[in-house]
A and B are shown apart, each in its own frame.
Chain A
Amino acid sequence: MSLRDDFQPKWKLLLKWGWLSFAVFILMAPTFYTVYISFNELGFGAKYYNFTFQWYENVFSDKQLIGALGWTMLLAIITLPIVIPFGLLSAKLYKQSTQKVWIVFVLLSPLFVPADILASALLVFFKNLNKFFTLIGEYTGIYSLDTWFDLGIMTAVIGLIVYTLPYVFVVIMITMARYRNEQTEAARDLGASAWRAFWEIEFPQIRAGVFSACAFVVILTFNEYTRTSLLKGGFDTFTSVLISQMLNTGMSEESYAMASIVSLVAVVIVSTILIVTAIKTEELEKKTRIVKEPNK
Chain B
Amino acid sequence: MIIFFVLPLLLTVVWSVFERTMFWMEPAFTLFSYENFFFSSRLENFLSSMFHSSISVVCAFFIGFPIAIFIRRRVRKVAQHRVMLLFILPFMVSEIIRIFALRPILSRNGVVNSFLMDMNLIESPFSIFVFTPTGVVIGEIVSFLPFMIFSTFLALEAIPNYIFEVCADLGVNRRRMFKDIFLPLAAPGLFAGSVFIFVNGIGIALIPTILGGPGSVNAGLIATQAIIALDFPLAMAVSAIMMFTLMGLLYLGHRLFNLTKLLEPIS
Contacts and interface: CB of A to CB of B under 8 A. Distances in A.
Interface of A: 1-5, 8, 13, 16, 19-20, 23-24, 26-31, 33-34, 37, 44-45, 94-95, 100-101, 104-107, 109-118, 120-125, 127-128, 158, 161-162, 165, 170, 173-174, 176-177, 216, 219, 222-223, 225-226, 230, 239, 242-243, 246, 251, 259, 262-263, 266-267, 270-271, 274, 278, 281-282, 285
B5 interface: yes
Contact of B4 (A109, A122, A123, A173): A122
Contacts of A107: 1
Nearest to A111: B196
A209 B252 CA distance: 33
B239 A121 contact: yes
Interface in B27-59: none
Nearest to B198: A112
Given A114-B199, A170-B266, A27 B87 contact: yes
Contacts of B78: 1, 281-282, 285
B94 A222 contact: yes
A206 to B, nearest CB: 13
Can you list the 5 inter-chain pairs with the closest CB atoms, starting with the nearest?
A: A114-B203, A30-B101, A116-B220, A1-B79, A223-B94
Given A115-B220, A158-B4, A274-B82, A31 B74 contact: no
Interface stretch (B103-111, B119-127, B129-137, B181-189): B103-111
Contact of A104 (B87, B111, B239, B260): B260
A259 B1 contact: no
Contact of A112 (B87, B89, B246): B246
Nearest to A125: B8
A123 B223 contact: no
B12 interface: yes
B223 A112 contact: no
A266 B2 CA distance: 30
B83 A45 contact: no
Nearest to A225: B96
10 contacts: A5-B73, A16-B70, A27-B142, A37-B104, A116-B223, A124-B12, A251-B100, A263-B94, A270-B92, A282-B78
Nearest to B25: A124
Interface secondary structure of A, over-half rule: helix
A121 B8 contact: yes
Given A115-B220, A120-B235, A177-B266, A30 B97 contact: yes
Interface residues of B, number: 81
Contacts of B71: 20
Nearest to A116: B220
A20 B70 contact: yes
A116 B204 contact: yes
A88 to B, nearest CB: 14
Interface in B204-237: 204-206, 219-221, 223-224, 227, 232, 235-236
Contacts of A170: 266
B104 A101 contact: no
A123 B63 CA distance: 37
A33 B200 CA distance: 25
A23 to B, nearest CB: 6
B7 interface: yes
B83 A23 contact: no
Contacts of A30: 93, 97-102, 105, 142
A259 B102 CA distance: 13
A159 to B, nearest CB: 8
B159 interface: no
A30 B96 CA distance: 11
| Highest count of chain B CB atoms <10 Å: which of A29, A111, A123, A225 | A29
B76 to A, nearest CB: 6
Given A120-B238, A259-B97, 14 more contacts: A2-B76, A23-B145, A30-B93, A33-B111, A113-B243, A115-B203, A117-B203, A120-B223, A120-B236, A120-B239, A176-B267, A222-B94, A263-B94, A266-B92
A112 B199 contact: yes
Interface string B67-92: 10011011110110011011111101
Contacts of A173: 263, 266-267
Contact of B82 (A13, A94, A100, A278): A278
A40 to B, nearest CB: 12
A94 B195 CA distance: 23
Nearest to A269: B92
Nearest to B249: A112
A187 B266 CA distance: 25
A145 B139 CA distance: 43
B158 interface: no
A114 B169 CA distance: 46
